[in-house]
Amino acid sequence: MTPLEVPAPTIARLALYLRCLRACRREGVRTISSAGIGARTGISSGQIRKDLSYFGEFGRPGIGYAVDALLEHLSAIMGLNRPHTVVLVGAGNLGRALLGYPGFEESGFRIAAVFDNDPAKIGRSTVGRKILDMATLAEANKEIGAEFGMIATPASAAQEVADALVEAGVRGILNFAPAHLTVPETVTARNVDLTREIEVLCYFVGP
């Protein structure tokens, strides 16, 4: 069900197909071909069929894919057929934006609590959620039971926060701080680095 030999780029594209299929469902499209998904995502139809083939046979030759069914299959493969709970660390600008970002909830990720270590912030509320003391993270997560942690702190604090999240029992970390994290093998960390993205864009734009 989770074959190890699936290429990582395939998984990243699966999330794209999901997005496309959700849009199809909203639009009332019932059936779509790999070429149709390709037109909407910019990925070649062959690549799409190859990606799906790692997980099974979901389509019908001559017809295409049933949108609802493929959506169900891909959701299950990605682990998105059930809700997930997230704790957020860092109640600054970026943290507040993540709290207010509707996309997470729509994909089934609920940010259950926000933590910070700034005494000026602890106890206050932001985007409708109370800011809790970072020092209480492990204790609080016994109650919350979050699987995921998001780091929206300065880079200098990121590793320390990651350690605390691991200690608190999260199994996945989405790190928005521009820092390389070291985590145990039992935990998966993934980085989103805004500065890096615009720098890479700058290279490709050229002089």
Partner DNA sequence: TAGATTGTTAATCGATTAACAATC
Residues that bind its own copies (CB under 8 A): 2, 11-12, 14-16, 18-19, 40-42, 77-80, 84, 86, 92-94, 96-98, 100-101, 103-104, 106-107, 109, 147-148, 171-174, 178, 180, 182, 188, 190, 192-207
Per-residue burial over 33-47, b if 16 or more Cβ lie within 10 Å, else e, is bbebbbebeebeeeb
Decide whether 59 or 95 has the Cβ nearer to DNA.
59
Helix (H, G, I), strand (E, B) or coil at 131: strand
Question: Rounded to an integer, what distance in angstroms lies between the CA atom of residue 57 and that of residue 62?
Answer: 14
**Is position 191 an interface residue for DNA (rule: CB under 7 A)?**
no
Question: Which among DNA, its own copies, none contacts residue 52 (Cβ within 5 to 8 A by kind)?
Answer: DNA
Closest CA to 7 of 53, 58, 68, 57: 53
**Residue closer to DNA (CB basis): 60 or 130:** 60
CB of 136 to its own copies, least distance (A): 24
Please classify residue 156 by burial: count the beta carbons closer than 10 Å to its beta carbon, then call 0-12 exposed, 13-18 middle and 19+ buried: exposed
Q: What is the DSSP string of 60-84?
A: ETTTEEEHHHHHHHHHHHHT-SS-E
In the complex, least distance from residue 8 CB atom to its own copies, rounded to whole angstroms: 8
Report the residue from 3, 28, 42, 62 that binds DNA according to the rule CB under 7 A: 62
Nearer to DNA, 7 or 79 (CB): 7
